[in-house]
Amino acid sequence: AQTVTQSQPEMSVQEAETVTLSCTYDTSESDYYLFWYKQPPSRQMILVIRQEAYKQQNATENRFSVNFQKAAKSFSLKISDSQLGDAAMYFCAYRGYSGGGADGLTFGKGTHLIIQP
């Protein structure tokens, strides 16, 4: 079974600074997808970024980028120029390739990100 580990229960960063959230995972599959979701106090889970394991290039979405290290099974999220609206719980998630989506997502426990004004 796949597992996802987020070792930082809480992180704090000054507004406009850069912060990196860590995620490691365990799988025996060679093809899979990784995601970072954001959950603000509204409880809405919002996709931040996704990475296909077969792609060597790290995904980026505006101020959000990942450092995907397949051999190390590591998938960290970097948030540049942090903004107050980035404050939320951040979840790392895994989806296997073969299930076609029918196997759902495996989530980590989450990291609570605090933005200091």
Partner 1 sequence: ETGVTQTPRHLVMGMTNKKSLKCEQHLGHNAMYWYKQSAKKPLELMFVYSLEERVENNSVPSRFSPECPNSSHLFLHLHTLQPEDSALYLCASSQVVQGIEAFFGQGTRLTVV
Q: Does 7 bind partner 1 (CB under 8 A)?
A: no
Q: Applying CB under 8 A, which of residues 62, 85, 101, 117 lies at the interface with partner 1? A: 101
Stretch that binds partner 1, among 18-26, 32-40, 57-65, 66-74 (CB under 8 A): 32-40
The count of chain residues that interact with partner 1, using the rule CB under 8 A, is 26
Of 12, 17, 16, 85, nearest to 48 by C-alpha is 85
CA angle 41–42–45, rounded 5-degree value: 95
Q: Is 75 in the site for partner 1 (CB under 8 A)?
A: no
Which has the closest alpha carbon to 94: 9, 20, 27? 27
Question: Do residues 59 and 50 lie in contact, with contact meaning Cβ atoms separated by under 8 Å?
Answer: yes
Which positions touch partner 1 (CB under 8 A)? Answer: 4, 33, 35, 37, 42-47, 50, 52, 91, 95, 97, 100-110
